[in-house]
Chain A
Amino acid sequence: ETGVTQSPTHLIKTRGQQVTLRCSSQSGHNTVSWYQQALGQGPQFIFQYYREEENGRGNFPPRFSGLQFPNYSSELNVNALELDDSALYLCASSSGTLPVEQYFGPGTRLTVT
């Protein structure tokens, strides 16, 4: 086990709704990165948070937003959900911003109907 936890494990939402996913990083890690993994594809980088600031973003629209808290846990918020947002959402924690080694949580499986 990596010590990275995510909640909830599964979630079903309706198109147009909003969702918040949560991630607790491994003890001692100050960086959280979020990824979206569609079925049969590799994870796609959404953004990274380092010391409560966004520190890099992938090709995702502004309706994907995030937060990092003083204890380094993080939230991913997605507004105006679309069917294509159905995916496994993974968070990974690391120490520092260089991804020498990232530890992934078990993911949240989001289904949008």
Chain B
Amino acid sequence: RKEVEQDPGPFNVPEGATVAFNCTYSNSASQSFFWYRQDCRKEPKLLMSVYSSGNEDGRFTAQLNRASQYISLLIRDSKLSDSATYLCVVKAAGNKLTFGGGTRVLVKP
């Protein structure tokens, strides 16, 4: 079983719609969680950290469920510019970040 698993998609989303997807992690000792965004042939960029209480940044909402060991990302009012691959990232003890394989989102007019 992979340490961090994501549905690869693609999620085809009409512009203005809401899309949500999850990421599961296997290490119950994981301490920190992040969502990164990666555009085609570009480097990953931090989208947001995920806090235990859940957090929101504009149209983006992240949730953490420690009991079921998953995190989620919800995008409201999708824009064409939201088309990208969203990488789930988990940190256990130490300094190593473990990335999921990414979920591809395609927002269409």
B59 contacts A by Cβ under 8 Å = no
Between A and B, how many residue pairs show CB distances below 8 Å?
52
With beta carbons under 8 angstroms apart, the residue of A40, A55, A90, A100 that contacts B44 is A90
Contact residue range for chain B? Answer: 20 to 34
Contact residue range for chain A? Answer: 20 to 34
A61–B87 CA distance with the chains assembled, in angstroms: 25
Distance in Å: Cβ of A76 to nearest Cβ of chain B:
15
A105 contacts B by Cβ under 8 Å = yes
B95 contacts A by Cβ under 8 Å = yes
CB pair A33–B97 under 8 Å, yes or no, is: yes
B43, B45, B49: most-surrounded residue (chain A CB, <10 A)? B43
Distance in Å: Cβ of A18 to nearest Cβ of chain B:
25
A107 contacts B by Cβ under 8 Å = yes
Interface string of A82-113 (1 = CB under 8 A from B): 00000000100000011111101111000000
In residues 61-83 of chain B, which contact A (Cβ within 8 Å)?
none
- Which residues of chain A have C-beta atoms less than 8 A from B98's C-beta? 45
CB pair B96–A44 under 8 Å, yes or no, is: no
- Which residues of chain A have C-beta atoms less than 8 A from B99's C-beta? 35, 42-45
A42–B43 CA distance with the chains assembled, in angstroms: 11
- Which residues of chain A have C-beta atoms less than 8 A from B87's C-beta? 42-43
B46 contacts A by Cβ under 8 Å = yes
- Which residues of chain B have C-beta atoms less than 8 A from A55's C-beta? 95
B42 contacts A by Cβ under 8 Å = yes
CB pair B102–A42 under 8 Å, yes or no, is: yes
CB pair B43–A90 under 8 Å, yes or no, is: yes
In residues 1-34 of chain B, which contact A (Cβ within 8 Å)?
4, 6, 8, 32
With beta carbons under 8 angstroms apart, the residue of B4, B6, B45, B95 that contacts A99 is B95
For the complex with contacts A42-B99, A99-B91, 9 further pairs of A-B residues with Cβ separation under 8 Å are A40-B8, A41-B102, A43-B44, A43-B99, A44-B99, A56-B94, A99-B95, A101-B46, A102-B97
Binding site for A on B (CB under 8 A): 4, 6, 8, 32, 42-46, 49, 87, 91, 94-102
